[in-house]
A and B are shown apart, each in its own frame.
Chain A
Amino acid sequence: MPNTSIMTFNILSILPVLILAGFGMMVLVVDVLSSRKMGEKNFLAYLSLIGVVIAAFLSKNFTGTTLFSFYGAYTIDNYSLFFQFVFLLCAGLTILISKNYVQRENINYGEYYTLILFSTIGMILMASGADLLNIFIGLEIMSISIYILVGMKRTRLTSNEASLKYFLLGAFSTGFLLYGIALVYGATGTISLRQIAVFIAGKGGVLDPLLLAGMGLIIVGIGFKIASAPFHAWVPDVYEGAPTAITAFMAVGPKAAGFAAFLRIFFIAFGQVHQDWEKIIWILAVLTMTTGNIIALIQTNIKRMLAYSSIAHAGYLLIALVAANNMSVSAILFYLLAYLFMNIGAFAIVIVISQKEDSFLKISDFSGLAYKHPRLAIAMTLFLLSMAGIPPTAGFVGKFYIFSSAIKSGYVLLAIIGVINSVIAVFYYLRVTVAMYMRGPEREFQPLTLSPFIFVAIIISIIGTIQLGIFPAKVLEIAQRSILLLR
């Protein structure tokens, strides 16, 4: 049994956050103090990587404890620790794939790493926040850091544009989220998730229209962050314009954090009125999957294709949200971990293939890759097959658990639509594979310069994808132990 304790104020409980913040500031200071002749500034990446690793070890120490600190504002349970692990892994892998990329693109500032660490703090706060205020602040720390990271390549117009689009639409959606929170607060008189649940339970399942409107607006606000369908218009442009390493980061991190908050709000606070929100999410899930997959079919740019595929993946995750049983929570946790490995792996290969100023990003630029760099082609194929959900990869196991959780709760039609969608998805993932293996090279491939950093990132991603695909039992067991304590 996990030992439960309530502490009013426990600074140790946010130790991983403090470590990340401290290392973030240290990176800034070291960057300023280092003289210009130190040139490459490799130590920035080392330093931030050390911070992430220390934070991961510290958060591992909390395993098994359930703890509310800061007057009940911050929760530590296995659920939030699982998400902390996902976020820290995401930040670590992003730093690994960034190191040479930022040097190539001339954006090797200390601020780059600092903002990655800070946005990870925001994500951790979103997964651990026990009231709507902390979730909101976490979401803003994460989003504002990423607005800046997207526009980091200031001299390139696509980066500026992506940053502006993401910022304007993000701030717009923040307005909706905030209004939703206000209405929920007004209807229930509290912003604490548990108190909201207690209040709704006290009313015996009758639903206030004001509360319903608030729930709808919260869905709009978070639906934007996880890139679900009617609110997805920004995704392809922003993913294309952002520096590729940041695209990898924002395809995984904010999505995982958005789902962490989504699950916490809708399972804990609105758990009793499941029948009122399941239909909305049902429609969102179908729309998201279908839009993502259909439009991905006609893309020619690899980053845009991966953007639409990330929309489709949000759709699959929403299926599990509709199902709303314990199995679906562990399915979402497992799928997010699998998605982390395969997505960052794929973007790492894209970074290796592309050249300075993010050129060579068309799908046709991948043709003939198998003849020139067979190992890279094999790795890319593995990641794409995993995204398509073909066994024996992580993506297959993840999709399997998501669909079976939907069937378990009786959403057979939704599961069938999900399966049809994953069949459609196979086409566009295969297009890249076909280009790599069946067509001759359309351009000169540069001799490969695989730095140890990105090499390690790709190896970790490959191991993760295969490990989760062939031996899912261990991770699945951890995921099952990390489900939300619903009541």
Chain B
Amino acid sequence: MEPYLFYVMAATSVVAALYLIFEKNPVFCALYLVFSFINIAVLYVLLEAQFIAAVQVIVYTGAIMVLFLFVIMLLMVDVKKKQKDDLPFQRIPAMVMGFVLLVVMGLAIKSKLFQGREGEYTSAKVESIGHTQLIGKLLFTDYLLPFEMTSILLFVAVIGAIILAKRKV
């Protein structure tokens, strides 16, 4: 069961990603991206990261992508107007570059030598503590500093959104 699920989800997410980069209409692009993200969320469940999967659906597809859709609709980018999208002379080199990147990464992954240091959180242990409880506990102990600093990051984002997008300051 698990291998089939992986292959189906992997294939659909890749196809959705390809549609994203070749689709002309930005609204459809956003929807393809949402589709790809949900497939990735399923993969997170397969990897026993249920909390991350939930956050992926709630935050990424539920909040960030909806924000994208809002902005696309707000700006009402005229989709019917012939847009000179994707310059042809940049298309081939870009794809070659992407392919080279993929091959390099593939070789690096294939020739991986090290077995990284094993951590203490095996599936059984995570199960016994509870996945979300464990993340909550870690956030307020080992990851307290980045957690607090993230509040500054989000505050900066709020300031930015207000100062840049408000009609009149």
Contact = CB atoms under 8 A, between A and B. Distances in A.
Q: Do A and B share a direct contact in the complex (Cβ within 8 angstroms)? A: yes
Interface of A: 9, 14, 21, 28, 70-71, 73-74, 109, 111, 114-115, 118, 121-122, 125, 133-134, 137-138, 140-141, 144-145, 147-148, 151-152, 154, 163, 183, 185-190, 195, 199, 203, 206, 208-213
Contacts of B145: 14, 70-71, 73-74, 134
B141 A71 contact: yes
Interface in B150-169: 150, 152-153, 155-157, 159-160, 162-164, 169
Contact of B143 (A109, A133, A187, A210): A133
Interface in B108-125: 108-109, 111-114, 116-119
B153 A141 contact: yes
B108 A111 contact: no
Contact of B152 (A121, A208, A213): A121
Contacts of B114: 187-188, 203, 208, 210-211
Contact of A125 (B105, B109, B113, B149): B149
22 contacts: A21-B152, A71-B142, A71-B145, A73-B144, A111-B162, A114-B159, A118-B156, A134-B149, A140-B153, A148-B156, A183-B108, A187-B112, A187-B114, A189-B119, A199-B116, A208-B113, A208-B114, A209-B107, A209-B108, A209-B111, A210-B112, A210-B114
B116, B150, B164 — most chain A CB neighbours (10 Å)? B116
B14 interface: no
Interface residues of B, number: 32
Interface of B: 104-105, 107-109, 111-114, 116-119, 141-146, 149-150, 152-153, 155-157, 159-160, 162-164, 169
Contacts of B152: 21, 118, 121-122, 141
B104 to A, nearest CB: 7
A279 to B, nearest CB: 17
B39 to A, nearest CB: 19
Contact of A210 (B109, B153, B164): B109
Contact of B108 (A134, A151, A213): A213
A303 to B, nearest CB: 22
